[in-house]
Structure 1
């Protein structure tokens, strides 16, 4: 028979077993909880790892792309507003275009040598923009080129001569060339490989506000054709001029200046600004291009005593006013001088006849 002492001992041992079972269950519960927590952490870590791998691949692709860009050949870009800049050799057709292309390429190549080692291996890209058909017809009418085909052949020779030269016909419209040029400047100025943009637009003050944003970038250089508009000069952008590359169209058959004395020729006169002229076939009225000038500019030009014919049309048969080829007028100065010349009424207009001379600088009344 089991004694009470033994029974107590058994109860004690049973209680100990129960306590051990409880502790074991607590341990198992704790282990399960930790396992679940570890499993969740593992899932999160796995997701983080997948994200890191994906991000690393993306960074590697970006790095490869940047490396590719950095190893791509750099270039300089020349953009010319050909509605206002006239190449030498326009009347020489295809050969004239080839000569102009060679001259431009050589001039740019020699210039960038002085800019440092970063420019040693640069390609030279050239883009010219103009209303090709409209400007060609005007040049033919003014005997600057013999035919539209000669004009087209010039551009054909120009773009075919150099592998990275292009000419873009922007069609009619006052702002078409300006808008395309602005878009191209913005695009290329953001490209690392584009080391410099040479921009031929110094005749047009309308570019001043747009170019202000590039003053601190060091990427824009103004390509001068003699004179540079004061508003563009005020920007402080670097400038360069390639002598002999551009010329203003020379007037032909100009008449109306005083007789006698020394004859003067101005190859840089910008008589294209005298156009367009519109004549109403029904009424016979002539409408010259409207101009907007300031009183201050007109008064300043009056004091300079500039020859109207010399600076507006390119030729004077002789007078005692100022004739200086190196003094090239800005657009505002040209229009101010023309405003002064318009004060005098055209001979045909005084006789109540229609004046058909596209280069007549005088006023025409109904």
Structure 2
């Protein structure tokens, strides 16, 4: 009986063991199915999230492509409106005499030559943009004053100059020769305003500026001389020699010569002994209305006497030496090189120290050069040599006994390189032997 019980207990223990293993298997399988359900749910959620992200990416890509197309369209539209402006002070930068003399046809030819020269400059400096950039040309000048000067110089009649201006305006739809009025600073104010307008205009790719003989434009250009991004848009046109303050900063900018368009020297009225365009000292900014109000008038003898100045008219030519060909000759000077170098560095007013008068001080009430130094006779000879470093605009025909400028290149005898000299070719190899 005991054997049977023991066997039964053994069988029962085996059954319990098998049942326990089955329970463990069942539990494991249940856990597996639960985990599979969880992973399936996670996978489904991941698929939904991925699909949503794909939808967002596609939407973002579509919007990005749309924006890129819009930007490209705007760039094309902007490029279509891009322009280069040429702003010229016509009083400071006169066109070549041979063009102006042709009247209407000369004006048309000048507009064409100027735009051609500008286009060549744009092609050489910005070849990728030059083909679609329009060129706008504005010339501001005292038209009546210029016409009178040309007439008094016996270059051409006032009517011919009027024809030239009309031809320039007819020559190209984007070329304008504008009469700024006959106030002293009317053209300056117009030039300044148009320059600032172009500089602030996002469509303006380049500004070609012509106003070499006016120190006042140093205040316009100076603030941009150290700004690489801005000065890269500005090109200075070469014509008559740069005024002193402009010469100091011109190397900061790109400069180009348009020799076939502009005069290389200022207009000088031989009958009055002065250039049509006079470089003024620094003055406070003015608006156009106040500039236009400053129309020059002929001073009465009493007012001239009160200012202690005399009009810059040419005196009897008895004080002018000429060679056998009738060309002006500068008399030789005796001075020390040390005095020459010292005085050159002082920026003295040549007219005040050598002639006892100063046009700028008498006319504008101030002069940017030094009036305070006291010079000996020997030093004055050295200062006269300094003054002769600047070529006379009237050249060899000058008959003004008060003229302090040079009528022959001072380096002529020491091997001057004419192609790089500020003196024109005709002021080289001049016979310096006076006959009267």
Instruction: Please report how far the alpha carbon of residue 186 of structure 1 lies from its aligned counterpart in structure 2 after TM superposition.
Output: 1.1
Instruction: Please report how far the alpha carbon of residue 253 of structure 1 lies from its aligned counterpart in structure 2 after TM superposition.
Output: 7.2
1:231–1:272 CA distance, 2 compared to 1 (3 A): closer
Query: What do the CA deviations read for 1:246-280 (whole angstroms, capped 9, x no partner)?
Result: 11366687799xxxxxxxxxxxx946549x89574
Q: How does 1:122-271 map to 2 (within 5 A)?
A: 122-147=133-158, 149-215=159-225, 216=227, 217=230, 218-235=232-249, 236-247=252-263, 248=265, 270=275
Residue aligning to 1:290: 359
1:293–1:144 CA distance, 2 compared to 1 (3 A): farther
Instruction: Please report how far the alpha carbon of residue 113 of structure 1 lies from its aligned counterpart in structure 2 after TM superposition.
Output: 0.8
Q: Which TM-score applies when normalising by structure 1?
A: 0.58
Contact in 1 for aligned 2:84/2:133 (Cα 8 Å): yes
Instruction: Please report how far the alpha carbon of residue 144 of structure 1 lies from its aligned counterpart in structure 2 after TM superposition.
Output: 2.5
CA distance in structure 1 between the aligned counterparts of 2:73 and 2:223, rounded to whole angstroms:
28
Instruction: Please report how far the alpha carbon of residue 313 of structure 1 lies from its aligned counterpart in structure 2 after TM superposition.
Output: 2.6
Instruction: Please report how far the alpha carbon of residue 174 of structure 1 lies from its aligned counterpart in structure 2 after TM superposition.
Output: 1.6
Residue aligning to 2:100: 90
| SS of match in other structure, 1:156 | helix
- Of 72, 79, 82, which residue of structure 2 is paired with 1:74? 82
Contact in 1 for aligned 2:237/2:257 (Cα 8 Å): yes
Query: What do the CA deviations read for 1:61-114 (whole angstroms, capped 9, x no partner)?
Result: x98995675243321111110011110122221122122112111111111111
CA distance in structure 2 between the aligned counterparts of 1:139 and 1:164, rounded to whole angstroms:
26
Q: How many residues align?
A: 256
Contact in 2 for aligned 1:197/1:219 (Cα 8 Å): yes
CA distance in structure 2 between the aligned counterparts of 1:272 and 1:193, rounded to whole angstroms:
32
Q: Which of the pair has more CA radius of gyration?
A: 2
- Of 284, 303, 310, which residue of structure 1 is paired with 2:385? 303
| SS of match in other structure, 1:223 | strand
CA distance in structure 2 between the aligned counterparts of 1:185 and 1:272, rounded to whole angstroms:
20
Residue aligning to 1:323: 408
- State which drifts further: 295-304 or 91-100: 295-304
1:197–1:317 CA distance, 2 compared to 1 (3 A): closer
CA distance in structure 2 between the aligned counterparts of 1:255 and 1:192, rounded to whole angstroms:
45
1:328–1:295 CA distance, 2 compared to 1 (3 A): farther
Q: Which TM-score applies when normalising by structure 2?
A: 0.50
Instruction: Please report how far the alpha carbon of residue 242 of structure 1 lies from its aligned counterpart in structure 2 after TM superposition.
Output: 0.9
| SS of match in other structure, 1:76 | strand
Residue aligning to 1:340: none
| SS of match in other structure, 2:359 | coil
Contact in 2 for aligned 1:222/1:239 (Cα 8 Å): yes
CA distance in structure 2 between the aligned counterparts of 1:237 and 1:245, rounded to whole angstroms:
21
Query: What do the CA deviations read for 1:276-333 (whole angstroms, capped 9, x no partner)?
Result: 895747999853392236248997752246299x714333489xx652494269xxxx
Contact in 1 for aligned 2:147/2:157 (Cα 8 Å): no
Query: What do the CA deviations read for 1:107-148 (whole angstroms, capped 9, x no partner)?
Result: 11111111131222211110000111122123222323223x
Q: Which runs of 5+ in 1 are unaligned?
A: 1-58, 257-268, 330-366
Residue aligning to 1:52: none
